[in-house]
Homo-oligomer: A and B are copies of this chain.
C-alpha cells in the first residue's frame, strides 16, 4: 500500500460529495449559478491574501435573497460549510475556500435599490462596489465615506464583513460608523434586519456585532449606508521630519490640539523612496518620515485648519512643509500613499502587509522595535500607516524563492503583532483576522474572551457551518500554537484564575 491510495480515496470521496451537493444546489439555483468544475472554480481559490490558496468544492452565484435562503437550506441539510465572498479583495484570507465547502459569492446581487438624498442614505445590495455608491450619490453632492485602497473593486458586502476603513476613517469612521442597517439571512434561513435609521435602537446592538464578523454570522442581502455631503474643498499638507519619532510626536501634537484631520498618514523614508520613482508624487525622499495631513470642509474651515495644523507641525519640528495649492496637487500627494502596496510589489518579489493598531502614544516605541526586528530577521520593512488612528501597515519585503525568507517574514510579522498587543494595541486595524492572523488572536485574547466570541457565533450558527475556522481560534488551536494566554501574563487583559 503506497501513499497514493489514500489520496485517491480522498479525491474520490470529494468527487462523490461534490456531485451530491451540486445536484442538490442545482435543484434550487439556475444552472449557470452553480460552478463545480475546477476550471470554473479556480478564480475563487484565494482572495487578496494570495499566499494561501485552496480550490473550493463548489462555487454558487445566487442573484436574489430567496436563492441565498435556498442555498443555506441545502447546505444545512447536507452539512456543508459555507464561505461567503464579496469581491475577493480581502487581505486576511477571510474568503479562502474550504476543500469540502461551498463558496457563496454575492457578486450578482449588485443593484442600487434606492438612493435617498433627503435622509442621506442609500440602500444597496451586497455586491455593489464601494466606489459605485459614491459615483451614484455624486449627483446629490453626497458620497459614502469609508474608502479602502481597493475601493474601485471591493464590494459593500465585503466591507461589512471586514469592517473596512480607509485613509479618511479618523474623521469619518469605519464601516460600522457608516452603515445604518443590514439585512441578512441566518444559517437557519431567517431573514433578519439589524439596525435602523434612528441614532439608537432598542434591543441589543447586533448591527455592530455583525459588521466585522467576517461571514461567521450570516449572509448580507442588503445594506443601508449613510451618505455624507462632499466637502466644498480639501487641501493636504506634506510635512517632512528628520527623525521618525519627531513625526510621531507631531501626530500626537495635532490630536492634542483638538484637530481631527480628514486624513493623517505617515510614511518612512523606505516607503517614500520605494514609491517616488513609481508615481512621482513629489515626496521629500531625504526626510526620515513624511506626514500627510488633510483638511476638508468649507473654504473658511479648511483655511483655518491648514493654518492651525501648519503651526502645530512647525512647533513639532517639521523640517519642511508643503501645502497643496490645487486639487490636482492634492491628488498627486495622495497618489504616492495610495500606491504604496503596488510600489512594494515593484521593488520586491514579495511583500507581507501587516495591520496592527496601537495607541498613538506608542508609535515611536513600536517603530523603534520594528527597526530592531529588521536587523534580527535580515529583512527590510517599509512603514506606511494611518498615523491618526495608530493603524500601522508595515510592509515586510522578502523573496519567497530564497529558502527561509517566507518563514522569516512570517515570524517578523507575528513579532510585530505581539509587540502591538504588548503596548496595548490590537493585531488588526481594518483588514480582519481571516486565516492570516488567527494564531495571533491567541495572543490578543484570553480564553474567556474567545469563548464569549464563540458563544455568540453559536447563537447565530449552532451547526458551525458559516466560514468555520476563520477569525476566532478554538482553544485547542491556541494550545497547539503554544500561545495560550495564562493568568498573570504580561498582557493587558484579564481573566479568572480558573483558566
Contacts and interface: CB of A to CB of B under 8 A. Distances in A.
Contacts of A429: 198-200
Interface string A440-454: 010011101111110
B202 A441 contact: yes
B359 A191 contact: no
A204 B456 contact: yes
26 contacts: A119-B361, A120-B255, A165-B200, A183-B494, A189-B496, A189-B498, A190-B451, A190-B452, A191-B495, A192-B448, A192-B449, A196-B426, A197-B425, A198-B390, A199-B390, A200-B430, A202-B437, A202-B441, A202-B444, A204-B209, A204-B213, A229-B258, A300-B300, A452-B459, A456-B456, A456-B459
Number of copies of this kind of chain in the complex: 2
Contacts of A163: 200, 205
A200 B420 CA distance: 13
A316 to B, nearest CB: 15
Interface in A195-215: 196-206, 208-209, 211-213
A198 B209 CA distance: 17
Given A69-B496, A304-B301, A426 B200 contact: yes
A198 B425 contact: yes
A209 B205 contact: yes
A217 to B, nearest CB: 8
What interface size band does chain A fall in? 35 or more
Nearest to A142: B258
Nearest to A437: B202
A196 to B, nearest CB: 6
Nearest to A458: B459
Contacts of A459: 452, 455-456, 458-459
Contacts of A496: 69, 189-191
A456 B217 CA distance: 12
B203 A472 contact: yes
A206 B425 contact: no
Contact of A252 (B118, B165, B211): B118
Contacts of A452: 186, 190, 192, 206, 459-460
Interface in A164-204: 165, 169-170, 174, 176, 183, 186, 189-193, 196-204
Given A202-B433, A453-B203, A494 B359 contact: no
Contacts of A425: 196-198
Which 6 residue pairs of A and B lie closest in terms of their CB atoms, listed nearest first? A208-B208, A455-B459, A198-B357, A190-B448, A229-B258, A199-B389
A471 interface: yes
A contact face: mostly helix, strand, loop, or mixed:
loop
A101 to B, nearest CB: 21
A157 interface: no
A169 B199 contact: yes
A52 interface: no
Nearest to A207: B208
Contacts of A199: 165, 169-170, 174, 357, 389-391, 429
A445 B428 CA distance: 34
A62 to B, nearest CB: 16
A493 interface: yes
Interface string A349-367: 0000000011111000000
A424 interface: yes
A432 interface: yes
A427 interface: yes
Contacts of A196: 424-426
Contacts of A430: 200
A399 interface: no
B197 A449 contact: no
A427 B202 contact: yes
A27 to B, nearest CB: 19
Interface in A278-298: 298
Interface string A31-58: 0000000000000000000000000000
Interface string A61-77: 00000000100000000
Given A192-B495, A202-B427, A203-B444, 11 more contacts: A119-B360, A120-B255, A170-B199, A190-B496, A192-B449, A196-B425, A197-B424, A200-B430, A204-B212, A205-B208, A205-B211
